[in-house]
Amino acid sequence: MKKLKILFIMAIPLICAWTAAEDTYTLANGYTVTIHGTSNLHDWNETVGTVSGAGMVSSNSDGSFNLNSLSIVMEVHSIKSTEGSAMNNNTYKALKADADPEITLKLSNPINSIQAKKGEAAVSAKATLTIAGVTKTIDILVKASMPEQGKLVFEGSQAIKMTDYGINPPTALFGTLKTGNEITISFKTTFSQKAN
């Protein structure tokens, strides 16, 4: 019994250090998320207006950090196109916005020992992307940086095929503009440490 008590007392600092090291980070304002696509007439762009996100981060003694979890949610009805309201409405219909109003990106596995304090670090991540109610696992390359303590910046882009998510590429201008199947989602997001 005495030995068990000693072991428990010795373990307390380790337990406290582990719990104290993990911090919550939330998506700050100033993010940019755009969707770039092609058509039979010209290229087009859409901007996602409403995005939220949060992640859990732990620090290491060598100055690196571990990204233990990350989730980003994009509101479909906040997407606005350079082609105007007709393209917006066709986008919402194609993405089944009424039934599935959110696009979500979730980190599948933790990423350890990210060295981002002295500049950008290229990070390869596996994540799940859910669009129009369909979830696929993707591999994504992200640039991570820590411009200051308590702030993390993630920047990157991902090409996907709409038909992989059961989406019929939207049209506009009474069908004269037909979009290509492949689109590229580009993002630059800043996450700030949440005060305890």
Question: Which of 27, 71, 77, 72 has the alpha carbon at shortest distance from 47?
Answer: 77
Give residue-wise pLDDT tens across range 153-190: 999 999 999 999 999 887 766 667 788 899 999 999 99
Task: Identify the sign of the CA torsion 104, 113, 184, 51.
Answer: positive
What pLDDT is recorded for position 196?
63
Which of 192, 194, 188 is CA-nearest to residue 51? 188
Average pLDDT, integer, range 102-109 = 96
**The pLDDT of residue 21:** 65
Q: Average pLDDT of the chain?
A: 87
pLDDT at position 195 over 80: no
Q: Alpha helices, DSSP H only, in 73-180?
A: 85-94
For the record, the structure tokens of 107 come out as: 């980190």
pLDDT at 3 over 70: no
pLDDT 10s digits, 106-163: 999 999 999 887 778 999 999 999 999 999 999 999 999 988 888 999 999 999 999 9
